[in-house]
């Protein structure tokens, strides 16, 4: 279910300076964290928890990740998405709720995010199968686009209907939803704070045990060994990134990446290399990161302003093809005020 390679290079808990690698330094006035590594959704995830009942909480979180991996993967026989893509209908409260939110996001993003892009992904060889990468013909894309669009999905209570031959792929929201569910489980088990590393995407639960701000280093997409700067946040937030720079192929000297524009069927040509979204809602953060890459800087910033006015605030860090870094998280404030700060490096 891996949607993309992500642009967060590492997350650190520390008293002073930012640490390199995946190094952690325990706060002297906080209990040592418990950690667990899980392979799910085709990536390595690292869970770190502070507080009571840590082992039990981590065990429950691990099981939930495995469950969601099996339940939401369209290529796994027996999953809700597999059944829906095969039969055109499924009764599943969880899938219905997630698709309901996905449809709302698709509308809010003007179609720049869409859960029905599976046929396009398969044509380009970026799907869940082992298809070979290739450039589809205009005729193939036109035929597939006729069945792409969130309006192909209909929900009635716990029952979902899909206008076949449309096909769903929930990779654009799966990690955000997984982070949300894991956070709920950890919190319910008594965790005071947690770091949920979803293979690069990060959810921060609660405040940093030693006080102060969490610090997240954001990778420079132009240099695998460097980072753009450091994001500071007081927690209870998701930091999700989409980028065009790692999943791609080349044909006849042209590079084609995996973030497809649902309106054209082609890889998005928006002028953005990566988009990081900082948001209190994991599903929205996950989907909006993709939408920003499709929209481009100007339209992404306009969408941010519009959604903030409608009650869904989020911040962005955008990297353009010509090397500019645009960000809205420029004023740190207490958690209750929803503030973040991003400090450029270099």
CATH, residue 241: 3.10.520.10
Residues 111 and 223 in one domain: no
Same-domain check for residues 226 and 200: yes
Q: Are residues 113 and 254 in the same domain?
A: no
Residues 14 and 55 reside in one and the same domain: yes
More confidently predicted of 336 and 246: 246
Into how many domains does the chain fold?
A: 2
Report whether pLDDT(280) > 60. yes
Q: Is residue 251 part of a domain?
A: yes
In the chain, DSSP finds a helix count (H) and a strand count (E) of: 8, 17
Q: What is the pLDDT of residues 110-127, one digit of tens each?
A: 999 999 999 999 999 997
**CA 141 → CA 60, 106, 173, 178, 261, distances in Å?**
43, 20, 24, 31, 11
Q: Considering the domain boundaries, does residue 298 fall inside one? A: yes
- Does 258 reside within a domain? yes
Q: Within this chain, do residues 262 and 292 fall inside the same structural domain, yes or no?
A: yes
Say what percent of the chain tops pLDDT 90: 74
Choose between 115 and 210: higher pLDDT: 115
The Cα 67–Cα 74 span in angstroms is: 14
**Mean pLDDT computed over every residue of the chain:** 87
DSSP readout, 291-314?
HHHHH-HHHHHHHHHHHHHTT---
pLDDT interval class at 331 (50, 70, 90): low
Q: 53 and 191: one domain?
A: yes
Query: How high is the pLDDT of residue 344?
Result: 87
**Do residues 63 and 116 both lie within one domain?**
no
Query: Is residue 48 domain-shared with residue 132, that is, in the same domain?
Result: no
Q: What pLDDT, on a 0 to 100 scale, did the predictor assign at position 345?
A: 82
pLDDT > 90? residue 7? no
Q: Per-residue pLDDT tens for 223-277?
A: 878 889 999 998 899 999 999 987 899 999 999 999 999 999 999 999 999 999 9
pLDDT digits (tens, 9 = 90+) for 16-26: 233 222 222 33
* 149 domain-assigned: yes
**Strand positions, DSSP E, 13-108:** 34-40, 43-51, 89-91
Residues 251 and 338 in one domain: yes
Dump pLDDT digits (tens) for 43-61.
999 999 998 888 999 999 9
Q: Are residues 153 and 208 in the same domain?
A: no
42 and 122 share one domain? no
- Whether 138 maps to a domain, the answer reads yes
Q: What six digits make up the tokens of 159? A: 């029952």
Question: Do residues 60 and 208 both lie within one domain?
Answer: yes
**Of 24-38, 200-214, 273-287, 307-321, minimum mean pLDDT range:** 24-38
The last residue of one of the domains, among 128, 162, 196, is: 162
Please say if the pLDDT value at position 337 is more than 80. no
The domain containing residue 104 runs over which residues? 80-162
For residue 113, what is the domain's CATH number?
A: 1.10.3980.10
Confidence of residue 131 (pLDDT cuts 50, 70, 90): low
């Amino acid at each position: 279910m891996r949607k993309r390679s992500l642009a967060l290079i590492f997350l650190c808990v520390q008293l002073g300076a930012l640490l390199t690698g995946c190094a952690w330094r325990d706060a002297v006035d906080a209990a040592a964290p418990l950690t667990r590594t899980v392979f799910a959704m085709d990536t390595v995830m690292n869970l770190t928890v502070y507080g009571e009942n840590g082992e039990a909480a981590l065990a429950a979180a691990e099981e939930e990740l495995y469950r969601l991996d099996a339940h939401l993967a369209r290529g796994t026989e027996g999953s809700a998405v597999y059944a829906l893509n095969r039969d055109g209908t499924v009764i599943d409260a969880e899938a219905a709720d997630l698709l309901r939110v996905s449809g709302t996001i698709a509308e809010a993003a003007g179609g720049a995010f869409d859960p029905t892009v599976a046929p396009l992904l398969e044509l380009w060889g970026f799907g869940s199968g082992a298809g070979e990468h290739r450039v589809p013909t205009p005729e193939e894309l036109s035929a597939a686009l006729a069945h792409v669009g969130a309006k192909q999905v209909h929900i009635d209570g716990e029952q979902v209907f899909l206008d076949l031959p449309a096909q769903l792929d929930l990779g654009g929201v799966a990690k955000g939803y997984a982070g949300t569910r894991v956070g709920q489980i950890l919190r319910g088990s008594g965790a005071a704070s947690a770091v949920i590393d979803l293979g690069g995407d990060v959810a921060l639960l609660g405040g940093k045990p030693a006080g102060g701000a969490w610090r997240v280093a954001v990778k420079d997409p132009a240099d695998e060994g460097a980072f753009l700067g450091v994001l500071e946040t007081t927690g209870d937030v998701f930091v999700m990134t989409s980028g065009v720079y790692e999943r791609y192929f080349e044909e006849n000297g042209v590079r084609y990446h995996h973030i497809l524009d649902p309106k054209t069927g082609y890889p998005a040509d928006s002028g953005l290399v990566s988009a990081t979204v900082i948001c209190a809602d994991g599903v929205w953060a996950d989907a909006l990161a993709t939408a920003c890459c499709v929209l481009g800087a100007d339209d992404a910033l306009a969408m941010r302003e519009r959604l903030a006015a409608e009650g869904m605030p989020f911040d962005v860090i955008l990297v353009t093809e010509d090397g500019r870094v645009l960000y809205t998280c420029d004023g740190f404030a207490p958690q209750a005020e929803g503030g973040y700060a991003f400090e450029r490096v270099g």
